Structure 1
Amino acid sequence: MKMEKILVPICVVLLIEAVMVSVVGGHVHQEQVNIWPMPKYFSNGNKMLYLSNDFELTTHGSKYGDGLGILKDGFMRFKGIVTLDHVIDANFSRFEQSAFLKGINVVIHSTSDELYYEVDESYNLTVPAAGKPVYAHIEANSVYGALHGLQTLSQLCGYNFKTRLIEINMVPWTVFDQPRFPYRGLLIDTSRHYLPLSVIKKVIDSMAYAKLNVLHWHIVDSQSFPLEIPSYPKLWDGAYSATERYTMAEAAEIVRYAQRRGVNVLAELDVPGHAGSWGVGYPSLWPSASCKEPLDVSNEFTFQVIEGILSDFSKVFKYKFVHLGGDEVDTGCWQSTHRVDRWLQSRRMVSSQAYQYFVLRAQKIALSHGYEIINWEETFNNFGDKLDRKTVIHNWLGGGVAEKVTAAGLRCIVSNQDKWYLDHLDITWDEFYMNEPLTNISNPKQQKSVIGGEVCMWGEHIDASDIEQTIWPRAAAAAERLWTSSDKLARNPRQVTRRLAHFRCLLNQRGVAAAPLAGPGRIAPEDPGSCYTQ
């Protein structure tokens, strides 16, 4: 069940905009505010509060029962990332009680804790300058909107080394915020290099800091098959080693961990190509021992295995979508294998028709398990009019695809490799920031069919040793493009450099190995100096 959006009366919006122009000496510029990504609306003042030593969470007026403890856990994480292990040893008695923020009251209108596609992620945040006692307030329709509100509040807090207290500057604050796109993704690749569970969890934590909400888990590929599939246990033989594996229980733990942070997990099963590792345990899935992919289209067992995998997926991966790949399919293997070629001839198929047959049959299996499908763009480029209408096309080859896909009545996710591939280390953060998913799309219906975008962390040259500095801060630049309303986005990336540098340093302080802004991806600091100037 979908919840209604928080509606802000136009008079309130105008009031907020008016306050933005009136406070702090007459003007409030976005660059005076270190929030990333930039909210839809905000206003602030010029006073200061300190967090009380017994800062508390209250939920007066909330309908949400927090039976799973999602809000409580979010509040405890908030306190952890705000404190950052600093020692709070001030003499509290020398401060007036009115100088302290006593706590935060969170009002959530929905009783549900279900995380689903297009769940309402909006929130209102207010931090007053005075009160008896002083409480901040978050109002949201879902607990996941409330978690975003806590993330924003955490960025307003900082440790003061003179007072040895956590302070909030520029109060009073009023923030109204909601995402521009419902799908804001980050792909990780655990086939090219295995990523330990602890590393995946750290990636999820950092995604929440930037308000990204979909972890696209490219679990298996040609190189390895690290995930346990109970229906076909020998698929696990395709793992690199006996230790570089994930049990289904561990996959469920990743889904649970992500959900508690407002992050959906999108599982990918890339077929029929990118599947050479499948045949290690089940050699009959290969067209031949010397020609190992794409999967054998002529073998009914191939589709039985896909059925089994997706059946097992459906018990763990509860997101609305499953990714079925479909990219880079070289059908020459089918033609060069006599047995498969005879099968093609008996059905009067050429290899391109067999490619279509395979993709559409895999789609039907996914649909039977309640999934909607995401496919890489080659499927659209080759037979877009034959795809199920519940298909989302995942762009990656270049620009202009979203315009064609939405004109054809399908949905699209933008990940064009020349701008949003994190493993392309020559792409700088400003190029990530300026990549616009709605380029050349002016029709409102088509715009709505672009459900969002995704930055892709392909793993050929990335493992646990360098994944964080390869993702951040460039993924944060894309995160603002996907979260912030178009009228608040900077037209020139130089306008946000200082604010992004501040966010990058904040990630470092929170234990995320984000690289400096200067230079291409994954660069090391060139010289001694402040984090904020690198």
Structure 2
Amino acid sequence: MAGWILLLVVATTLVRCSDVVKDYTPLIYEPSWVYKCVRQEGCQRSSQPHQTTPSNASSSLVFESLDHCRLICGQFGGIWPRPVFMSMGIQTVHIHPNSLRYNLNGVPAEAKELMTEMTKITSDNIRAECGGEVTAEANTSVVVYLTVKSPDLTLTWSTDEEYLLEVQTVGNNIAVLIVGETVYGARHGLESFTQLISSDRANYDDKKKCGLLLVSETKIKDRPAFRHRGFLLDTSRNFIPMDDIKRTIDGLAATKMNVFHWHVTDSHSFPLESIRVPQFTRYGAYSPSEIYSTEEVRQLVSYARARGVRIIIEIDAPAHAGNGWQWGNDYGYGDLAVCVNEKKWRKFCIQPPCGQLNPANQVMYRVLRNLYRDIADMLPKPQLFHMGGDEVFIECWNSSQEIKSYMANKGFAINQEGFMRLWAEFHAKALQIWDEELVASGSKANESVMIWSSDLTMPDRIQKYLNKNRFVIEVWEPEESDVLDQLIDLGYRVVDVPKDVWYLDHGFWGATRYSNWRRMYSHQPRRHSQVLGGEVAMWSEYVDSLALDGRVWPRTAAVGERLWSAGAQPAEAASARLSRLRARLAARGLRPDVLAPEWCAQHDGKCS
């Protein structure tokens, strides 16, 4: 009998415990944080999970998703890079891509095909916010009215990239007005339009549904601070597949950067196909599958142009030229290059493998002519070419009796200044060949070319050898160097690339220092008419396609904003917008590195 009483007591206790659990079991088992936009701070996660929806919340600045909060929080919301002027409401409206239309009546006939391609990219980027498929319905009509003032489709340093963007909402109808001086300005306006949109998964009973939210009232007036906003990718030291290059250009477009500087060859490999000189890839490619065909390059040029990005091909010379050039003797042409793959490399170059073109061999210039013609045919007019020109090692040329005999016959002393004269002669001949091949391809001669800073471009020497009207100097001196300013004072146009700040490979080898995005953001190029802009550089000794995205993004975007948005805004004021950009890049298929622990991303300013 006592046993039955004990069992009854235990059963009653279990029933009562069950009642207690039932009373306190939440309806939603997942954490349901909300995010509040706090003035001067940014988006802040609630102190504890809530079951309150924004419609019942006490503040209109409380949101169920961080992306929604970032969309409208702060003066510039989620726009990257920071625009010149922006006013924005805090209300959003649900939209669907199927109800999005583009009106191109204000676009010149010459620009309509390119503008149409740009609108397709815009729609794809909008759908990417929901993983490519927007499953939540919306009955709002959105019409984007595009106006382009100029029919000019060239993308150069003189291209006007200014744009105006307005979003106006009346009932269930939204009008988006985008006016660009050129088709590329209008493209930037379309990019900003996509950044006024975020995904919405929180406001539906079915959490698998994904909708889109658009800021209902916005006005932006914007233009870049610098004409050259570039990114360099080295594809010689390690081959980077074309799909990875295109994905990188997608990131440049999202950041409104307008130059892809393609360091396509070096002494390590020559992966660029030349129709006229097939020996380059036959002797210089790592494998048959690691070659950029002429047709692939042309497709890349078109791909980049539709994203507002200009392709600049660099053939580094006369140094950094080895594998791909070592076939001369096999064809009876003599040594096209010297010091190629020297075993005692430290005497002949800065890193293995070595190789420098042979300026004493006139056949080398005939081969170079054919290569230049191929490049002129690949690039859109007016073609911009980078001639390389850095890190010539005198010891390499001095080891060749052929070169020393040639110098003696020319009256060049066999000393440093004599080798400088030889180096300058190479660039003069190469420039003449480039001009002649431009004319042969139907372009104008006397266009500007780019060249790296070097011993030849030092302020006490450059005027003797390089014409300031033809050569744009890409200065890769350390940030504290005064070489850039001295070249400006001499009248040369420059592109700023401070290697100790904007080199993405630093911190991964030797005594170099890693630059995080804040350090990269802190460098502001000098505002001067002769400073065309700057570049961030991804040298590939220690990176390939497996690590590319994380090494490049989002740090490159920090440089992108510095080149678009002049001013001394501190990095911390930009961190929330950069977090939103990172999420946007990830949605578009890139794999950007993380900025901080996710807790920091959910509490703006708390980890500074």
Say whether the fold is shared (TM-score over 0.5).
yes
Deviation of 1:402 after TM superposition, in Å, equals 2.3
| Matched position secondary structure for 1:409 | coil
Of 400, 414, 421 in structure 2, the residue corresponding to residue 353 of structure 1 is 421
Structure 2 unaligned regions, length at least 5 = 1-59, 62-71, 205-209, 330-334, 343-347, 349-353, 413-417, 439-444, 508-513
Q: Could you give the per-residue CA deviations for residues 40-81 of structure 1, whole angstroms, max 9, x where no partner exists?
A: 111112322222453333335414236663222222222222
Matched, 1:328 2:401: no
Of 325, 332, 336 in structure 2, the residue corresponding to residue 285 of structure 1 is 336
Percent identity among equivalent residues?
Answer: 28
Q: Could you give the per-residue CA deviations for residues 293-332 of structure 1, whole angstroms, max 9, x where no partner exists?
A: 3211111112112221111111112354211111110021
The aligned counterpart of 2:189 is 149
Deviation of 1:184 after TM superposition, in Å, equals 0.5
Equivalent position amino acid for 1:476 in 2:
A
More displaced 10-residue stretch of structure 1: 109-118 or 457-466: 109-118
The aligned counterpart of 1:127 is 167
Q: Could you give the per-residue CA deviations for residues 233-253 of structure 1, whole angstroms, max 9, x where no partner exists?
A: 211121111211111121111
1:432-451 correspondence runs (5 A): 432-438=520-526, 447-451=528-532
| Matched position secondary structure for 2:357 | coil
The aligned counterpart of 2:471 is 391
Distance 1:68 1:314, change over 3 A: farther
Distance 1:448 1:466, change over 3 A: same
1:167-178 correspondence runs (5 A): 167-169=213-215, 171-178=216-223
Matched, 1:460 2:548: no
Matched, 1:43 2:87: yes
8 Å Cα contact 1:31/1:498 also seen in 2: no
Matched, 1:180 2:220: no
| Matched position secondary structure for 2:98 | strand
Distance 1:55 1:223, change over 3 A: same
The aligned counterpart of 1:271 is 317
Q: Could you give the per-residue CA deviations for residues 244-271 of structure 1, whole angstroms, max 9, x where no partner exists?
A: 1111121111111111111100010111
Distance 1:69 1:57, change over 3 A: farther
Of 506, 509, 519 in structure 2, the residue corresponding to residue 431 of structure 1 is 519
Equivalent position amino acid for 2:336 in 1:
L
8 Å Cα contact 1:273/1:326 also seen in 2: yes
Distance 1:79 1:288, change over 3 A: closer
Matched, 1:375 2:451: yes
8 Å Cα contact 1:144/1:262 also seen in 2: yes
The aligned counterpart of 1:362 is 430
Distance 1:53 1:503, change over 3 A: closer
| Matched position secondary structure for 1:324 | strand
2: CA distance, partners of 1:139 / 1:68? 14
1: CA distance, partners of 2:484 / 2:200? 47
Distance 1:191 1:128, change over 3 A: same
2: CA distance, partners of 1:251 / 1:427? 31
Equivalent position amino acid for 1:296 in 2:
N
The aligned counterpart of 1:3 is none
Distance 1:465 1:432, change over 3 A: same
The aligned counterpart of 2:153 is 113
Matched, 1:408 2:490: yes
2: CA distance, partners of 1:295 / 1:423? 26
The aligned counterpart of 2:78 is 34
| Matched position secondary structure for 1:269 | strand
Distance 1:355 1:53, change over 3 A: closer
8 Å Cα contact 2:236/2:270 also seen in 1: yes
| Matched position secondary structure for 1:219 | strand
Q: Could you give the per-residue CA deviations for residues 122-167 of structure 1, whole angstroms, max 9, x where no partner exists?
A: 1110001326732111111211111111111111101221154311
8 Å Cα contact 1:181/1:483 also seen in 2: yes
TM-score, length basis structure 1: 0.85
More displaced 10-residue stretch of structure 1: 48-57 or 308-317: 48-57
- Computed over aligned residues only, the root mean square deviation of the Cα atoms, in angstroms, reads 2.4
Matched, 1:70 2:144: no
Equivalent position amino acid for 1:376 in 2:
W
The aligned counterpart of 2:279 is 234
Q: Could you give the per-residue CA deviations for residues 479-507 of structure 1, whole angstroms, max 9, x where no partner exists?
A: 00001133xx41x2111112112211221
Distance 1:233 1:87, change over 3 A: closer
Aligned residue-pair number: 484
The aligned counterpart of 1:15 is none
2: CA distance, partners of 1:419 / 1:530? 25
8 Å Cα contact 1:66/1:72 also seen in 2: no
Deviation of 1:87 after TM superposition, in Å, equals 4.7
Deviation of 1:531 after TM superposition, in Å, equals 6.2
1: CA distance, partners of 2:276 / 2:434? 16
Equivalent position amino acid for 2:475 in 1:
N
| Matched position secondary structure for 2:389 | coil
TM-score, length basis structure 2: 0.75
8 Å Cα contact 1:86/1:159 also seen in 2: no
8 Å Cα contact 1:433/1:481 also seen in 2: yes
1: CA distance, partners of 2:150 / 2:583? 35
| Matched position secondary structure for 1:88 | coil
Structure 1 unaligned regions, length at least 5 = 1-23, 442-446, 519-526
1: CA distance, partners of 2:379 / 2:120? 26
The aligned counterpart of 1:295 is 357
8 Å Cα contact 1:43/1:173 also seen in 2: yes
